[in-house]
Amino acid sequence: MKKYFLFIALLFNILAPNFSIAQDHLTPELLWKLGRLNGGDLSPDGQTVLYTVSYYNMEVNSGNTDIYTYHIPNKKILQITNTPFNEFEVKWAQNGDILFLSPEAGSIQLYRISNKGLGKTQVSAFTGEVEGFVLSPDESKIATLQSVQVKPTLTEIYPDLQKANAHIVDDLHYRHWNQWTNEYIPHIFIGPKNADNLYVDGQDIQKGEKFAGVMLPFGGSEGTCFLNNDQFVYASKKKLGKEFAFNTNNGLYLHDLAKNTTVDISTPNNGYDNAPALSPNGKQLAWLAMGKNGFEADRNVLQVYDLTTKTIKALPLNQDLTVDQFSWKKDGTGFLFVAPFRGVNQLFQSDLSGKVLQLTTGKMNVVHYSEGKDRIILGLQSITAPTDLYSFSKSTKTIERLTQINQELLSNISLPKVEERWVKTSDGKEMLTWVVLPPNFDATKKYPTLLYCQGGPQSMVSQFFSYRWNLMLMASQDYIIVAPNRRGLPGFGQEWNDAISKDWGGQPIRDYLAAIDDMSKESYVDQDRLGAVGASYGGYSVYYLAGIHEKRFKTFVSHCGLFNLESWYGTTEELFFADWDIGGPYWKQENKELYEKNSPHKMVGKWDTPILVIHGGIDFRVPESEGMQAFQAAQILGLKSKYLHFPTEGHWVQKPQNGLLWQREFFKWLDEDLKD
């Protein structure tokens, strides 16, 4: 126990700001100048950490990613690449060189460079665009993700109509998140080296299939692995059209290169199976699995597959946790994994019997980790700190900070104070609420206060550092932020997580009201200057609160929120989500009460408060018509309202200038209603 208190004390000392020199507050412009660190993998000899940093250029409206290393013995950072190209899929080779993909040659090719940044050479001769790669154990073969054409293009169907621009659709799942389904999908190719020792295109192990070799739209090479030089495993949802749209049941497929056979080894599981990882002794394969078909936020459990007996066993964890990312321990005696836990993503370990031990404590999210012999490298972030790398000692359970990539930019920035507050809900439960107080907070003053409504909907309000919904940035504009972990979030047991399904407008909304009402009792909260903001389900929550808040709030901001659940059901794409969380089609008699109870558009007649509506033009999860309907309703009601529309953005705002515009309009709106 003393070791854990020591961990917390050291973490506090590492992160404590120097208030004697702090002068300024975080601004949107400064936020976009921060470097964004990703990765943090130990080299084969355990001496060097490999990571990337991305910086964004507002003038050119794009970002650039370069490769860095941190040498542990001499505590030195070395920039490995400095090019105008984005290096990605950065990995260690067995000999300690660095492998990565880059478009430098005019097409995406594989490169090798020493860990000193010397001797960069192209080591591939691919003919097609490569999106990801994995090497076989002896590095003699490579598996790549490459797009293949699976159906004719419009101009192939009608060669005389070369300028026609249309989509011809005859089945569901014709668009996904922010892209229309087109004629090309990624397949897995496995190839050798040629006579010049270059990796080349190989066999399309899915030849003739119309299914992607990864879990679109976010899956990549992390959903694949070699078992040996002749066997390969990949996660794929081999379904099309309506079958794809209505379920989450995919498979883990083992392809034998010598026999040219493929079998699904994940049956009879009915939900998601993903992230296969081979044990150190090569005898077992583990992966993440969800059991309920159609429930994308089900509990993630570890499945262990014996490659000899071909039997599957679920790891029976002795704690109610859902596994986020995992790996085998280096000695093969169990697993390391990250799981959401009471408002923080923490690192745990488990033996093969399922006995769990929590390794990290404190209030920082573990966003990445890499195990060495005597240490674990951690990527940590918090509400007031972007990601940096730390070294966690296995023996002492203490932590040492390795990088401070934004030290110069943040050295004179006053930090908000983050408090953990437990609020009693309307049904007598205890709810964790993060409260973020402005820099240089003065309890004798009264502050405008924002209720932050989380999206997901099953996504924990953790110690996250966002580049859009940044709670530190909001507090730095002299707002108090109230961020509840309302019903329907992981990290507080599966019952709490599951409670939101088919009850979107019920207890979760009452949880929000409990949080803001509890906070409003504080003398420093100005009850006449309250706002509610959120995106996705959080945007839905804002629309819902607008119809029931009984004068609590003075203004609202909703981004990509669901407004009319009936029209949303008719336009969204992953219908398994709509069926599980909403209840199914609105025209079925048994669902009419659910839509009446849960759809915000049913309460528009009670709207009486200014609202800013924000939406992306290629958001296919929550189509732009939802935002248009809400804005139009507010205009017809004569309410102060504004519609901020991004034609080329999806469910998120990704372009730098769009992101900065978003933040300027966001704070301009809030300041008008809560400060002027």
Alpha-carbon dihedral sign for residues 355, 359, 365, 367: negative
Question: Cα 58 to chain center, whole Å?
Answer: 23
Question: Is 619 designated active site?
Answer: yes
Q: Residue 343 is encoded by which pair of tokens?
A: 């408002």
- In terms of Cβ atoms closer than 10 Å to its own Cβ (0-12, 13-18, 19+), residue 19 is exposed
Helices (H), 337-477: 407-410, 471-476
Tell me the backbone φ, ψ of residue 544, rounded to 5 degrees.
-65, -45
Which region holds residue 451: left if phi is over 0, alpha if psi is between -120 and 50, else beta?
A: beta
d(CA 232, CA 136): 9
Q: Say which DSSP state 602 is in.
A: G
Question: Is 20 designated active site?
Answer: no
Residues 96, 83 contacting (CB under 8 angstroms)? no
d(CA 462, CA 661): 26
β-sheet with 184-191: strand ranges across: 130-135, 142-149, 184-191, 203-204
The one catalytic residue in 511, 619, 641, 673 is: 619
Q: Residue 507, Cβ neighbours under 10 Å: how many?
A: 19
Q: What are the E-state strand segments in 329-455?
A: 334-341, 344-351, 356-358, 365-371, 375-382, 385-393, 399-401, 417-424, 430-437, 447-453
The one catalytic residue in 536, 541, 599, 641 is: 536
**Nearest to 545, CA basis, from 529, 561, 560:** 561
Question: Is 324 designated active site?
Answer: no
**644 Cβ contact list (under 8 Å, min separation 6):** 612, 613, 614, 615, 662, 665
Which residues participate in catalysis according to the annotation? 536, 619, 651
